[in-house]
Amino acid sequence: DLQGVERLARSQPSHSPHSNAHSFHAAEVARHLIEALVYQRRWPEAEAEFETFLPYTGARSLYRSSVQDFVHNIGLACALVWIEAT
């Protein structure tokens, strides 16, 4: 249930606008929220949430597995939309 995933992710303390917490849990919450939004094709919201995920990326990221899962899952979702459109 994508809406359930979205609700759960938004309810986590690490997703609070006042939280600067950087942890594996926070990275996973952000990743799952963005994935839920992408699979619902809510592109503007997904793009806005992507800004919260960017700090977890980089050449020396401690959150490499979250970033890899993000790229894999979001890439797949975008590819499927592109295939449907062609």
- pLDDT tens readout for residues 53-74: 999 998 888 999 999 999 999 9
Distance of CA 36 to CAs 8, 18, 78, 84, Å? 11, 22, 13, 19
- Tell me what pLDDT residue 18 has: 47
- Tell me what pLDDT residue 16 has: 54
- Tell me what pLDDT residue 19 has: 53
Q: Please compute, for residue 23, the number of CA atoms within 13 A of its CA located in the half-sphere on the CB side.
A: 10
Is residue 27 within 8 Å of residue 52, measured between CB atoms? no
Domain boundaries, the chain: 2-85
DSSP class of residue 72?
H
- Tell me what pLDDT residue 74 has: 96
- Tell me what pLDDT residue 21 has: 60
pLDDT tens readout for residues 9-67: 888 776 555 455 678 888 999 999 999 999 999 999 999 999 989 999 988 889 999 99
What is this structure's pTM?
0.77
C-alpha 52 chain-centroid distance: 8
- Which residues are within 8 A (CB) of 38 and not within 5 positions of it... i.e. 6 or more apart? 46, 74, 77, 78
